[in-house]
Chain A
Amino acid sequence: MSPTDHAAPAEAATLLTARGIRKSFGDHEVLRGIDFSVRRGDVVTLIGPSGSGKTTVLRALNGLETPDGGELAFDGGPTIDFSRPVSKGDRIAMRDRSAMVFQHHNLFPHMTVLENVVEGPIRVQRVPKAEAIAAAEALLDRVGLAEKRDQYPFQLSGGQQQRVGIVRALALKPDLLLFDEPTSALDPELVGEVLHVIKELADEGWTMVVVTHELAFARQAADEVLFMDGGVIVERGAPRDIFTNPREERTRRFLDRILRPLD
């Protein structure tokens, strides 16, 4: 199930470029000009304190938030200039490129596990039903939930629900997977099973942007770490540089707070 079209050439192509993304909620400027790019096959993690704007960045990538300015360019389209109203076509095209895994899974409670997973492929992508079901079953099997296919979300543990959330996103075969603090709402003992699945997907070559507080995950899985604070990207780099050798004072303070909370 490895995303074949992601087979990375020696010099990986850029999938997504964000330039000068700005966003305000009322008087509060949450994003003050965000620039970054994501190469195919890369895992980019966004870390930073609450309110730093990292979730807003992620939500802007698939249209859940509309920035006030800046540009988002997907390789192969669309390219969206947020200084103008976003056309419906661009919005749909942008959504088609990515799929989102939410902090609170947001599974459809009135549908079974299988129905949750095939809803997008069947209703939106018009995949034939039998084909969509077979694909969904294979994906569920991968994350160890094959026998849960006919259960309702409320019958699952938090970790299982989040794994279904991941499968629902994968079933859309997006070019880009977006994770919004996928383990923050979980009990500590359930975090591992979810991170494990995400790490496997990363190893398979899926392109992903992950907003997370799990620094150990960022360290192990990320190709690039972006540290955000106050609506800007303060520092960026390979995880070993950011975590062992942060150049910026703000990064250092944040890491200290997380890694040594009692000092």
Chain B
Amino acid sequence: MNENVQLLLDSVVPLAVGAVTGTIPLALASFALGLALALVVALMRLSKNRVVSGIARFYVSVIRGTPLLVQLFVIFYGMPSIGITIDPWPSAIAAFSLNVGGYAAEIIRAAILSVPKGQWEAAYTIGMSPATTLRRVILPQAARVSVPPLSNTFISLVKDTSLASLILVTEMFRVAQQIAAFSTEFMLVYLEAALLYWIICLALSGGQARLEKRLDRYVAH
């Protein structure tokens, strides 16, 4: 028993380092890039141009219709076959961003559509361009609606980054695998990793609640 406690204590620091230098930056970078991509794809989906919206629709369909692990492997293990070799980290960020882009695009599209048409009209009649209307009037209102589903996407992403261990990215789960293999205490180490993921996600849920409250300040309750 004593040895187990010692192992837990010894492993928590490397696991936390794995989270801080691997899991968290990987999730943050992928989410930021994925959101930017999602906004572009959402606007493309809403375009009246059939070709533009078709491209966006195709992208979303491919991303949602294929496993994330397969996407990750295509980029890291597949691309070298056609002469493009990408390092583990950029591969992971690319795969996760593309994945978030597909899912979040649908969330953002729905959120934009949820803003009443009268808001576009009011902005138009005070002389705003479509781009300004989107930035000043539509997206701030769409943001409120999309925080809960986007939070889900982000929390899923944090956990999905564990897949990056399979393409040699040293994030928290890869560290856990190494410790487990070395100590052979698989149950203990993997439960410890699970606990750390859970703590990160709890913190994110707390952040979500605060953000929702802040964005709800202009809505009647």
B-binding residues in A (CB < 8 A):
62-64, 92, 95-96, 98-100, 102, 104, 106-111, 119-120, 123-125, 152-155, 168-169, 172
Counting chain A CB atoms within 10 Å of each CB, the highest count among B116, B126, B220 belongs to: B126
Nearest residue in A to B121 (C-beta to C-beta)?
Answer: A64
Nearest residue in A to B221 (C-beta to C-beta)?
Answer: A154
Q: Mark B100-143, 1 if CB is under 8 A from A, else 0.
A: 00000000000000001011011111111000100011001100
Could you tell me the dominant secondary structure of chain B's interface residues? Answer: helix
Nearest residue in B to A120 (C-beta to C-beta)?
Answer: B126
Q: Smallest distance from the beta carbon of A240 to chain B beta carbons, Å? A: 32
Chain A to chain B contacts (Cβ below 8 Å), 11 pairs: A95-B124, A102-B118, A108-B123, A108-B137, A109-B219, A110-B218, A120-B128, A123-B132, A123-B136, A153-B218, A155-B220
B48 on interface, CB distance cutoff 8 Å: no
- Complex Cα–Cα for A172 and B122 (A): 13
User: Is the pair B218, A100 in contact by a Cβ cutoff of 8 Å?
Assistant: no
Nearest residue in B to A95 (C-beta to C-beta)?
Answer: B127
Given A110-B218, A154-B218: A168 and B126 within 8 A (CB)? yes
User: Is the pair A152, B217 in contact by a Cβ cutoff of 8 Å?
Assistant: yes
User: Is the pair B125, A100 in contact by a Cβ cutoff of 8 Å?
Assistant: yes
Interface residues on B, range: 20 to 34
Residues of B within 8 A of A125 (CB): 127
Residues of A within 8 A of B132 (CB): 123-124
Q: Smallest distance from the beta carbon of B67 to chain A beta carbons, Å? A: 38
- Complex Cα–Cα for A96 and B122 (A): 13
A-binding residues in B (CB < 8 A):
116, 118-119, 121-128, 132, 136-137, 140-141, 144, 217-220
- Complex Cα–Cα for A235 and B206 (A): 64
User: Is the pair B122, A107 in contact by a Cβ cutoff of 8 Å?
Assistant: yes
Residues of B within 8 A of A109 (CB): 141, 218-219
Nearest residue in B to A171 (C-beta to C-beta)?
Answer: B126
User: Is the pair B218, A124 in contact by a Cβ cutoff of 8 Å?
Assistant: no
User: Is the pair A172, B118 in contact by a Cβ cutoff of 8 Å?
Assistant: no
Q: Smallest distance from the beta carbon of A166 to chain B beta carbons, Å? A: 13
User: Is the pair B124, A63 in contact by a Cβ cutoff of 8 Å?
Assistant: yes
Q: A119 touches which one: B116, B126, B141, B218 (CB < 8 A)?
A: B126
- Complex Cα–Cα for A106 and B217 (A): 18
Q: B127 touches which one: A108, A110, A124 (CB < 8 A)?
A: A124
Q: Smallest distance from the beta carbon of B19 to chain A beta carbons, Å? A: 35
Residues of A within 8 A of B124 (CB): 63-64, 95
User: Is the pair B126, A172 in contact by a Cβ cutoff of 8 Å?
Assistant: yes
Q: B218 touches which one: A92, A96, A152 (CB < 8 A)?
A: A152
User: Is the pair A108, B119 in contact by a Cβ cutoff of 8 Å?
Assistant: yes
Nearest residue in A to B118 (C-beta to C-beta)?
Answer: A106
User: Is the pair B126, A99 in contact by a Cβ cutoff of 8 Å?
Assistant: yes
Q: Smallest distance from the beta carbon of B177 to chain A beta carbons, Å? A: 46
Q: Smallest distance from the beta carbon of A112 to chain B beta carbons, Å? A: 8
Q: B125 touches which one: A62, A104, A154 (CB < 8 A)?
A: A62
User: Is the pair B128, A124 in contact by a Cβ cutoff of 8 Å?
Assistant: yes
Residues of B within 8 A of A92 (CB): 127
- Complex Cα–Cα for A257 and B121 (A): 32
- Complex Cα–Cα for A225 and B47 (A): 41
- Complex Cα–Cα for A168 and B140 (A): 19
Q: B128 touches which one: A104, A110, A123 (CB < 8 A)?
A: A123
User: Is the pair A104, B141 in contact by a Cβ cutoff of 8 Å?
Assistant: no
Q: Smallest distance from the beta carbon of A170 to chain B beta carbons, Å? A: 11
User: Is the pair B220, A154 in contact by a Cβ cutoff of 8 Å?
Assistant: yes
- Complex Cα–Cα for A212 and B150 (A): 43
User: Is the pair A124, B126 in contact by a Cβ cutoff of 8 Å?
Assistant: yes
Counting chain A CB atoms within 10 Å of each CB, the highest count among B121, B137, B218, B219 belongs to: B218
